[in-house]
Structures are given as C-alpha cells and as structure tokens.
Amino acid sequence: MAATDPTEPNGDDEIQQPDEAGAEDTAPASGGSADGDGLTVDDILDAEQTDEAAEAEKSDYETQLLHDLKRLQAEYANYRRRTEEQRQVEIDRATGQVAKRLLPVLDDLDRAAKAGDLPEGSAFALVADKMRGVAEGTGLVAYGAAGDVFDPQQHEAVFQQPTPGAETATILEVVEVGYRLGDIELRPAKVVVAVPAE
C-alpha cells in the first residue's frame, strides 16, 4: 500500500478556492445597500427624481391649460361684444332705411295739414296722427321751426330775407322739416332765413 502525500490533491479531495466572481455577485453594488426587494439606493433616488420630474411636467401642463382657458374666455368675450355692436349697427341701419322711406309721407301729411285737408276729427287726421306716432316710435325726431336761431350745421337756407329789426339770423319760415334719427341727421331742415337789414 503506497503512502499518500498530504500536500497533493487526490481525486476525492479538491481544495476549494474562493470564487472571486461569485463573491462579487453576492456583494452589494457600490454606494448602495441591498434590501428585500433587490432595489438599491440609486434605484430609489432615480425613482424619486423621475416622480419629481413627472410632477413638474404635470404642473406645467396644468398651467398651460389654465392659460389656454383664460385666453379662450377672453376671445369669446370679445367676440360676443363685437357681435352685439354689429347687431346694433344693423338694427340702426334698418331703422334708418325705414325712417327715410317715411319722410315723403310725413311731408305730404304736413302739406295737407297746412292746406286744411286734415280737419280735426276726420278719418284722414286720425290716420295722419297714427303715421306720426309710428315715425316717433322709430326714434325719428322732427326739427326746425319758425323763430329758431339759424344754425348752418342743422339748417339749409333756401332764401335769405333781409328783415328790419333782426339782430341775428333767424328762421322766418320752414319750407321742409328736418329729421334726425338718434344722433344721425337724415335730412337738414330747409328754411327761409331772416337776416339783419343793412
């Protein structure tokens, strides 16, 4: 029976050397510590930074939505205001067109009244009164009367009559009544003007 050398390995007993690679696998990653879920400190920090970035992005998005909403509200308010203004302009224009068509009728009624063709209480006088009421209902205002001071901005002088004792230009006679619709002058009053005699 041969003697065995204790320094030589035999087939049954091999000397186990520590596996460096295996040791590194079981060691925790640098700068971190292992926990039960296998997450490191770096993983947790990265997750927190991602959450903060997501919150910041969400806040920016909400702020942008709020700005967009305010802008749309302002645009709608401006649109509604412009629409109302345009609507009023169209109403005034339509009213003006109707009022202008009434002027010849009102002139005929005035001539008939001066000629005595509209006696008080007659059917024609009642119709004339209703017609004048309709005209006034549209906002039509007649102006120009004998004795008023002549104003070239409102009156059209068809004739100037030198009059003794007249100190200023005064309306002596109204040839055609003037009409206004609100602030708009539809027709100037045509008048005979009494002027100071030289």
- Give residue 123's pLDDT: 85
pLDDT, tens digit, 9 for 90 and up, residues 162-196? 888 778 888 888 888 899 888 788 889 999 988 87
- Give residue 184's pLDDT: 83
Give 49's pLDDT tier (boundaries 50, 70, 90).
low
- Give residue 48's pLDDT: 65
Percentage with pLDDT > 90 across the chain: 9
Query: Pairing relation of β-strands 178-181 and 140-143?
Result: antiparallel
- Give residue 24's pLDDT: 45
Alpha-carbon gap, residue 195 to 161, rounded angstroms: 6
Average pLDDT for residues 64-72, to the nearest whole number?
90
- Give residue 76's pLDDT: 93
Q: Which residues lie closer than 8 Å to 166 by C-beta, 6 or more apart?
A: 194, 195, 196, 197
Alpha helices (runs of H) in the chain, residue ranges in sequence order:
20-26, 41-115, 123-137
In order of 144, 145, 149, 162, 195, the CA distances from 165 in angstroms are: 22, 20, 15, 9, 9
**Which tops the pLDDT comparison, 67 or 11?**
67
Buried b (16+ CB within 10 A) or exposed e, 105-140: ebeebbeeeeeeebeeeeeebeebeeebeebeeeeb
CATH fold, domain 140-198, is Nucleotide Exchange Factor Grpe; Chain A, domain 2 (2.30.22)
In the chain, domain spans: 140-198
pLDDT, tens digit, 9 for 90 and up, residues 109-166? 888 888 888 888 888 888 888 988 888 888 888 888 888 888 888 888 888 888 887 7
Average pLDDT for residues 17-21, to the nearest whole number?
48
Percentage with pLDDT > 70 across the chain: 75
Alpha helices (runs of H) in 116-196, residue ranges in sequence order:
123-137
DSSP state of 192: E
Q: Is the CB of residue 193 less than 8 Å from the CB of residue 170?
A: yes
Give 27's pLDDT tier (boundaries 50, 70, 90).
very low
